[in-house]
Amino acid sequence: MTTRCAPPLLLVLSLTGPLSAADPAADLLQPQAIDREVDAAVVRAVQFLAESQRPSGGWYLDMYNGETTSAAALSLMALLAAGHSPGEEPYAGTFRRGVGYLLDHQQPTGLIVDKTGHGPLYCHGISTLALAEIAGQAEPSQAAAIRHALERAVFALLQAQAVPKDDRHAGGWRYTLTSNDSDLSVTAWQLLALRAAKNVGCDIPADAIDDAVGYVKQCAARQRGGFGYQPGGGSTPTMTAAGITALQVCGEHDAPELSQAIPVLTDRLPRYRERYFFYGAYYASVALHQQGGDAWTNNKDSLFREILLRQNRDGSWNGVDGSEKPLGKVYATSLAVLALTVEYGYLPIYQK
Per-residue pLDDT reduced to its tens digit, 295-310: 999 999 999 999 999 9
Of residues 33 and 186, which shows the higher confidence score? 186
Residue 212 · residue 171 · CB < 8 Å: yes
Report the candidate in 10, 6, 91, 20 with the shortest Cα–Cα distance to residue 316.
20
pLDDT (0 to 100) of residue 224: 85
Contact 158, 103 (CB under 8 A): no
Percent of the chain whose predicted confidence (pLDDT) is above 90: 80
Predicted confidence (pLDDT) per residue in 91-100, tens digit: 999 999 999 9
Give me the pLDDT at residue 32, please.
Answer: 62
- Looking at domain 34-202+214-350, its CATH architecture is Alpha/alpha barrel (1.50)
| CA separation, residue 32 to residues 37, 223, 284, 297, 317 (Å) | 10, 38, 21, 12, 23
Residue 17 has pLDDT above 60, yes or no: no
Q: Does residue 26 have a pLDDT over 60?
A: no
Q: Which residue has the higher pLDDT, 332 or 117?
A: 332
For 307-324, the DSSP string reads HHTT--TTS-----STTT
What are the tens digits of pLDDT across the range 259-288? 999 999 999 999 887 889 999 999 999 999
pLDDT tens digits, residue range 113-144?
987 766 799 999 999 999 999 999 999 999 99
| Confidence (pLDDT) at 118 | 67
* Boundaries of every domain in the chain: 34-202+214-350
Q: Does residue 63 have a pLDDT over 90?
A: no
Q: What is the C-alpha to C-alpha distance for residues 327 and 301, in angstroms, rounded to an integer?
A: 26
